[in-house]
Amino acid sequence: MKNALELLQSYLDNIRNPAAAAALYAEDGILELPWVKAHAQGPEAIERLIAGVLAKIPDFGFGTLEIWIDTPDKVFAETRWKRS
């Protein structure tokens, strides 16, 4: 089983593959993008949301990760958008 940081890193590494990124979420997992008023719950809805983002921003990706909290079950980090 992956720890919190490993899960986050897998998500960031797979953001260009909506199915792989969404598969990291539980059925009750939620992805919210409040700046565009988007909300999805569960892997299928999250996959559609990520695919929609990539359709609108084809070169979307994440930059360098700055980790603030890293415990086995919690991670808090920030990253800036970058073009892939």
Q: What are the tens digits of pLDDT across the range 6-21?
A: 999 999 999 999 999 9
pTM: 0.85
Half-sphere CA count of 67, side-chain side, radius 13 A: 10
Task: Check residue 83 and give its pLDDT.
Answer: 60
pLDDT in tens, 28-78: 999 998 888 999 999 999 999 999 999 999 988 888 889 999 999 999 999
Q: Are 71 and 7 in contact (CB under 8 A)?
A: no
- Count CA within 13 A, CB hemisphere, residue 83: 0
Structural domain for 9, as ranges: 4-83
CATH, residue 23: 3.10.450.50
How far is it, in rounded angstroms, from Cα 60 to Cα 54? 6
Structural domains of the chain, count: 1
- Residues 5-28 as b/e (b if ≥16 CB within 10 A, e otherwise) read beebbebeebbeebeebbeebeee
